[in-house]
């Protein structure tokens, strides 16, 4: 069985192909036989396509102003040239898409029908940077691969069971009925990490209290009890919660009223400021990349130091919030680009929780850990670093749906 996965961002399109052959779903993630990514942030009307397969890495500059044509060129590298891994598109059995927002309607992976597509479009106002890209990817597959089955795997689905008292906002009740509530995001990653944590700890997932810290350019925490997300930091949109690479996270909403009243900010300007110009980038003035922040600190850049201090403070505060919701903790998990690769962030995050017996093993923390426990032997709480595999999790959902009777 061959499964193609598309993972669309607001300014990128990542894709990979898994070849499971005739085997059952393996316990451990397979490595894709082909990987590709288009980065459209270079300049307007231009993208950079990177393709890796057959031990070859190619970079191609795309000049088209039509993203569907760019996606077509990306997919053509599956069947053409040195990166070819299949002879024709008809060999692909299923295509899985990460979809950021599924609203309250979808609580599990779903075969994409005209109705599902319409719902994803209807939810564009709640995820304006992502859902349009998902529709674009779905329609590109329809054009290029024809009627191959496509699956939507929703980032919001894992948070579907959050209790209403945790999901509702304290604004007039009628807005809850109109869909203004906490949805939560990064659900594919949170669920994958929770399942793998149970394997690493050799305990049933249904017996564990976990806090998963997904720290990348976007950041969120999930409080997971008995395998179910009962609270999370992102909310109605992916803007709420932790300080992120370019996103502000939670701020006093009256700031927005003030900016509109006193400085005549428009909704578009506010959106750009909060989503693109805030967070680590906005405070440091350097970059959204934590590595650049660390370099700035080495050069005695005070704003870089402030950015890191704010980031860590908010991370600790939100971990504490999740801890209170859970009423205990078996494991604290770090994942995604920053969570997996920044030992200083893990160390600083853990420092505040020694009061209840959480202890980090510094040597293990510095040893580029992957899918292991880095807690000290006498720690009352385990500390895990897990390499999140969102694409593999999407492929797993496709495999399961493919086994269902038609």
Helix runs in 4-130, H state only: 67-76, 114-122
Note the pLDDT of residue 42.
66
Question: Out of 3.30.420.40, 3.40.50.1100, 3.40.640.10, 3.30.70.1150, which CATH number does the structure's domain 2-154 have?
Answer: 3.30.420.40
Q: Give the residue, 179 or 43, on which the prediction is more confident.
A: 179
Note the pLDDT of residue 52.
96
Question: Out of 3.30.450.70, 3.30.420.10, 3.30.420.40, 3.40.190.10, which CATH number does the structure's domain 203-385 have?
Answer: 3.30.420.40
**162 and 232 in contact (C-beta within 8 Å)?**
yes
Note the pLDDT of residue 176.
95
Task: Identify which of 5, 24, 14 has the alpha carbon closest to the alpha carbon of residue 400.
Answer: 24
**pLDDT band at residue 257 using 50, 70 and 90 as cut-offs:** very high
- Tokens in use for 326? 């859970």
Cα separation, 131 vs 218, in Å, equals: 16
270-316: pLDDT as tens digits:
999 999 999 999 999 999 999 999 999 999 999 999 999 999 999 99
192-241: pLDDT as tens digits:
999 999 999 999 999 999 999 999 989 999 999 999 999 999 999 999 99
- Tokens in use for 339? 């969570």
**pLDDT band at residue 43 using 50, 70 and 90 as cut-offs:** low
Note the pLDDT of residue 12.
80
Relative to beta strand 56-62, strand 94-99 is: unpaired
Note the pLDDT of residue 44.
66
350-365: pLDDT as tens digits:
999 999 999 999 999 9
Say if 2-154 and 203-385 have the same CATH topology.
yes
Note the pLDDT of residue 39.
86
Catalytic residue among 155, 371, 373, 391: 155
- From residue 231, give the alpha-carbon distance in Å to each of 20, 159, 213, 257, 315: 35, 8, 12, 28, 15
pLDDT of 369 above 80: yes
**320 and 223 in contact (C-beta within 8 Å)?**
no
Note the pLDDT of residue 181.
95
pLDDT of 45 above 80: no
Task: Identify which of 96, 103, 148 has the alpha carbon closest to the alpha carbon of residue 125.
Answer: 103
Percent of the chain with pLDDT over 70: 98
What is the torsion angle, in degrees rounded to the nearest 10, for the CA atoms of residue 147, residue 153, residue 156 and residue 160? Answer: 100
Q: Give the residue, 238 or 66, on which the prediction is more confident.
A: 238
What is the residue extent of each domain of the chain? 2-154, 203-385
CB neighbours (10 Å) of residue 378? 8
The average confidence (pLDDT) of the chain is 94
- Tokens in use for 323? 């801890």
- From residue 70, give the alpha-carbon distance in Å to each of 62, 63, 85, 120, 139: 7, 9, 19, 22, 13
What is the number of alpha carbons within 13 Å of residue 195 lying toward its C-beta? 15
Cα separation, 197 vs 382, in Å, equals: 10
pTM of the model: 0.92
Residue 70 annotated as catalytic: no
Note the pLDDT of residue 96.
97
Note the pLDDT of residue 104.
85
pLDDT of 10 above 90: no
């Amino acid at each position: 069985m061959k499964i193609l996965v598309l993972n669309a961002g607001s300014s990128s399109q990542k894709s990979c192909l898994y070849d499971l052959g005739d085997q059952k779903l393996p316990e451990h993630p397979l490595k894709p036989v082909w990987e590709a990514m288009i980065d459209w942030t270079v300049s307007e009307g231009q993208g950079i396509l990177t393709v890796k397969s057959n031990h070859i890495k190619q970079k191609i500059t795309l000049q088209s102003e039509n993203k569907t044509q760019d996606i077509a060129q990306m997919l053509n590298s599956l069947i053409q040239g040195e990166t070819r891994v299949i002879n024709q598109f008809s060999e692909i059995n299923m295509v899985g898409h990460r979809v950021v927002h599924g609203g309250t309607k979808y609580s599990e992976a779903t075969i994409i029908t005209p109705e599902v597509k319409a719902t994803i479009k209807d939810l564009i106002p709640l995820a304006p940077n992502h859902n349009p890209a998902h529709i674009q990817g779905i329609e590109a597959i329809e054009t290029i691969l024809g009627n191959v089955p496509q699956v939507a795997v929703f980032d919001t689905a894992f948070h579907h069971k959050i209790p209403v008292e945790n999901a509702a906002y304290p604004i007039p009740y009628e807005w809850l009925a109109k869909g203004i509530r906490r949805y939560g995001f990064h659900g594919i990653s949170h669920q994958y990490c929770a399942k793998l944590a149970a394997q690493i700890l050799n305990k049933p997932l249904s017996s564990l209290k976990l806090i998963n810290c997904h720290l990348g350019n976007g950041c969120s925490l999930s409080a997971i009890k008995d395998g179910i997300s009962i609270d999370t930091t992102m909310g109605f949109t992916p803007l709420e919660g932790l300080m992120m690479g370019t996103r502000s996270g939670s701020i006093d909403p009256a700031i927005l009223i003030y900016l509109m009243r006193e400085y005549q900010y428009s909704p578009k300007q506010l959106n750009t400021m909060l989503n693109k110009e805030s967070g680590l980038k906005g405070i440091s003035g350097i970059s959204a990349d934590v590595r650049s922040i660390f370099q700035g600190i080495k050069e005695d850049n005070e704003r870089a130091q402030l950015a890191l201090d704010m980031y860590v403070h908010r991370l600790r505060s939100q971990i504490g919030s999740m801890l209170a919701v859970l009423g205990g903790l078996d494991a604290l998990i770090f994942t995604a680009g920053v969570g997996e690769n920044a030992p200083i962030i893990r160390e600083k995050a853990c420092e505040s929780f020694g009061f209840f017996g959480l202890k980090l093993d510094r040597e293990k923390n510095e040893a580029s850990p992957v899918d292991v426990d880095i807690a000290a032997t006498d720690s009352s709480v385990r500390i895990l670093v897990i390499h999140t595999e969102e694409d593999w999790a999407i492929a797993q959902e496709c495999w399961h749906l493919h086994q269902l009777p038609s």
